[in-house]
Structure 1
Amino acid sequence: MADAITIRPVDGRADLKAFVELAYRLNADTPHWVPPLKSDVYELLDAAKNPFFEHATVQLFLAERDGRVVGRISAHLDHLALEQPVEQGMGPGTGNWGLMEAEDEAVMHALIAAAEQWLREQGMTRALGPLSLSVWDEPGLLIKGHDHAPMIMMGHHKAAYRGWIEGAGYSQAKQLFTYDIPIVDGFPKLIDRIVASGERNDRITIRPIDMDRYDEEASLILSILNQAWSKNWGFVPITDTEVQYIKKKLKPVIYPPINLIAEYDGKPAAFMLALPDINEALIGMKGSLLPFGWAKLLWKLKRKDWNGGRVPLMGVLPEHQNSRLASQLAFMMIEYIRRWGVGTMHATRAEVGWILDDNQGMNAIADAIEGDPNRIYAVYEKAGL
């Protein structure tokens, strides 16, 4: 008879440590898993530091078998997500779970059942996950791309988790794509012509973020993001407190030449952010800055040579969306990022995403620059809790 599995809420510092540490133990032999900094994980889960908790209720669970911790999961309600239109994927009655790790399928099923029970007790009728924790953090389960390491701010999961989650009665609600972009030899000639046409247009200006006005510039970008993504599946608005938090977190990895604002007739119209792949530095640090990891990370951040980078976010104001201008601005910004990335960072690869599977405009842009969908993440749902 199999040993019984016990699920219990995280209670106190020792439990929180067990919750965090479990991921490092279970993924120690997972190919291409990049250990996140433990300090970042603790901060993610700290209601006093992470402004997500200002509009969310979160419960963490541990699974134990024979006195050993063998799994973990979060169950949470994003109260701003509950206010969104149902047709956009969230809305009333939809709760979430995420941050799941499990030794085997039985443990995973027990964890998901516990998360569902907690969501039912909060009045939820539908579960959507994994979201770890917010849709703006690491949404989705990796279902394609286990053969290479993720780039900055992207998740990586055991391949077996897909079957375990689907075996718990979940179906895919949405897929999120990332694209591997060929950058060394440039983009197709058609893209070059589109970019050159934009450069001749006096109404278009593409400029780097002004770090002397960083707070103002970052606030502008996040304002455009809130407007540009407001109709997207899964959208939850970024609050003013979160804007301040994100600005602080991103500043150390902002290189102005690859973080761009597009203006049309002198007014902001779009933006594109690109980040160096810090995972290159993290992969050998085992989640700790001690004893010398901090020096390695700081050294890397001060240099401009990175093998790769990722474009995690792009936004176009609603009045320009679904237009030729929107595509032209996107092509211009990504070409400028490519030029600097190859010429100054000496980058050899880049990644764009994540992009929703039904975002026809952005998927078409990725196709036009010959992007390869190298990683796919699935967000799962179960109705009728």
Structure 2
Amino acid sequence: MRELVKVSGKKALAAFVDFPHELYAGDVNYVPELFIAQRDLLTPGKHPFYEHSEIQLFLLYDEGKIVGRIAAINNNNHNKVYESKDGFFGFFDCINDATVAKELFEAAQDWLKQKGLTKVLGPVNFSTNEVCGLLIEGFDGPPVAMMPYNAKYYLPLLEQIGFQKNVDLRAYRYTAGNYSERSVKLLDRIEERLMRNDIILRKINMKKFKEECNAVREVYNKAWDKNLGFVPMTDKEFDYTANDLKLILDPEFCILAEQHGKIVGFALAIPDINQILIKIKRGRLFPTGLIKLLANKKKIDGIRILLLGVVDGYRKMGIEACLYGRIIKHFKAKNMKYAEASWTLDHNDLINKPIEDIGGKLYRKYRILEKAI
């Protein structure tokens, strides 16, 4: 007998966070999320998202055992920006059973309908500023930091209940010694040309982290203004994310493009912390997870190029290519084994072409799906 439950209270929330551990038990590519981080993300009052929007979590039980979970998300800021009535689903996981998926989505859709929303998109965990997308190609390894992972059966399952493609997202991979040295060397000439226009590239100043973040936030909110579903982060949301990333940040991989003291572009790559998280059972830092995290942090040999943006008026000058080039140079100097550039929009040639020119190979695809409700 099945029972659908609205998540309420610490015990139910813990069960919601832990369900994927049971679902993917035995899957060598599954990486558990840190329990503390997921708990805070899903707790109103802990994350600044809840200052303007709301979610409802659902668990589906069958004979007392959890068989699926989903979050219905009403992102008011998104709908204000786009003058739309879009709802989102996120944190979706379930067994390979179309009736289970259908029950979960009916519950989510009913909740979204009550909010006056007419369409549902996802998977999106709050917004495209957070983890989003359904893995549809490239199941041959674990995800890198802050990228999603799911079973192959998810796409046909969602299509079976009426979801269609909205847009695809790309992930590119560089491997040590397998990227274009010629293209990287050419970037030195482009950088010299930029300098003649008083545009310089430099690493972030960690001693002025707060001030640097304030400047980068303005670029971030301007540079992504035309991307799929992008919603500018509030100051509190940006600071929340920046403080989390600061814990693992390597300044050599946070590059700023600056003209006359004004930041006009930036790129950020982060260590692939998933190399460690994959070994931390059920995402618990205590009693041994924290030791693993601290002991292995310096052994990480991969990065994810997480963000790259240039404000309007400075695009097509070569800044994008130079930002990537700087990161690849540091990648080589630190003897890293691989780098992933993700994610980019499938049709964004302005970003995709420089990645491919330097030697990035398209190796994974993710999809945002949609359905009228």
- With normalisation by structure 1, the TM-score equals 0.92
Q: Single out whichever of 335-344 and 241-250 deviates more from structure 2.
A: 335-344
Partner secondary structure for residue 308 of structure 2:
strand
Q: Identity of paired residues, percent? A: 33
Say whether 1:159 aligns with 2:155: no
| Distance apart, 1:67 and its partner CA | 2.0
Contact 1:37/1:288 (8 A) holds in 2: yes
Partner secondary structure for residue 233 of structure 1:
coil
Say whether 1:263 aligns with 2:264: no
Structure 1 residue corresponding to 2:346, chosen from 319, 337, 357: 357
Residue matched to 2:224:
229
Structure 1 residue corresponding to 2:40, chosen from 38, 43, 55: 43
Gaps of 5+ in 1: 86-90
Structure 1 residue corresponding to 2:305, chosen from 295, 308, 311: 311
Residue matched to 1:171:
164
Q: For residue 64 of structure 2, what is the amino acid of its counterpart?
A: G
Q: For residue 53 of structure 1, what is the amino acid of its counterpart?
A: Y
Say whether 1:66 aligns with 2:99: no
| Distance apart, 1:98 and its partner CA | 1.1
Contact 2:123/2:369 (8 A) holds in 1: yes
Q: Single out whichever of 219-228 and 193-202 deviates more from structure 2.
A: 193-202
CA distance in 2, matches of 1:111, 1:44: 21
Say whether 1:333 aligns with 2:328: no
CA distance in 1, matches of 2:190, 2:123: 43
Q: For residue 341 of structure 2, what is the amino acid of its counterpart?
A: V
Say whether 1:195 aligns with 2:188: yes
| Distance apart, 1:151 and its partner CA | 0.6
Structure 2 residue corresponding to 1:284, chosen from 279, 285, 291: 279
| Distance apart, 1:266 and its partner CA | 4.5
Contact 2:187/2:325 (8 A) holds in 1: no
CA distance in 2, matches of 1:267, 1:239: 21
Contact 2:127/2:230 (8 A) holds in 1: no
Say whether 1:275 aligns with 2:270: yes
| Distance apart, 1:207 and its partner CA | 0.5
From the superposition, tell whether residues 129 and 185 of structure 1 become closer, same or farther in structure 2 (CA, over 3 Å): closer
Structure 1 residue corresponding to 2:296, chosen from 297, 300, 308: 300
Residue matched to 2:137:
144
Deviations 1:122-153 (A, max 9, x none): 11111111112322111111111111111100
CA distance in 2, matches of 1:73, 1:252: 29
Partner secondary structure for residue 150 of structure 1:
coil
Deviations 1:193-224 (A, max 9, x none): 23333236342311000000001112211210
| Distance apart, 1:188 and its partner CA | 4.5
CA distance in 2, matches of 1:68, 1:293: 27
Residue matched to 2:92:
100
CA distance in 2, matches of 1:189, 1:351: 20
Contact 2:20/2:93 (8 A) holds in 1: yes
Q: For residue 230 of structure 1, what is the amino acid of its counterpart?
A: D
Partner secondary structure for residue 138 of structure 1:
coil
CA distance in 2, matches of 1:76, 1:185: 41
Deviations 1:278-325 (A, max 9, x none): 011111112111222212212334x3x42210111011011212x2x1
Q: For residue 338 of structure 1, what is the amino acid of its counterpart?
A: I
Residue matched to 1:88:
none
Q: For residue 369 of structure 1, what is the amino acid of its counterpart?
A: I
Superposed CA RMSD in Å reads 1.6
Deviations 1:323-373 (A, max 9, x none): 2x1xx22222222222222222x2111000100112120111122122111
CA distance in 1, matches of 2:189, 2:215: 27
Say whether 1:10 aligns with 2:23: no
Partner secondary structure for residue 121 of structure 2:
strand
CA distance in 2, matches of 1:137, 1:265: 32
Residue matched to 1:381:
370
Q: For residue 87 of structure 2, what is the amino acid of its counterpart?
A: G
Partner secondary structure for residue 40 of structure 1:
helix
Contact 1:30/1:158 (8 A) holds in 2: no
CA distance in 2, matches of 1:12, 1:58: 14
| Distance apart, 1:27 and its partner CA | 1.2
Report how many residues are paired.
Answer: 369
Residue matched to 2:332:
342
CA distance in 1, matches of 2:135, 2:358: 24
Contact 2:131/2:146 (8 A) holds in 1: yes
Contact 1:184/1:349 (8 A) holds in 2: no
Partner secondary structure for residue 352 of structure 1:
strand
Contact 1:208/1:260 (8 A) holds in 2: yes
Gaps of 5+ in 2: none
Partner secondary structure for residue 98 of structure 1:
strand
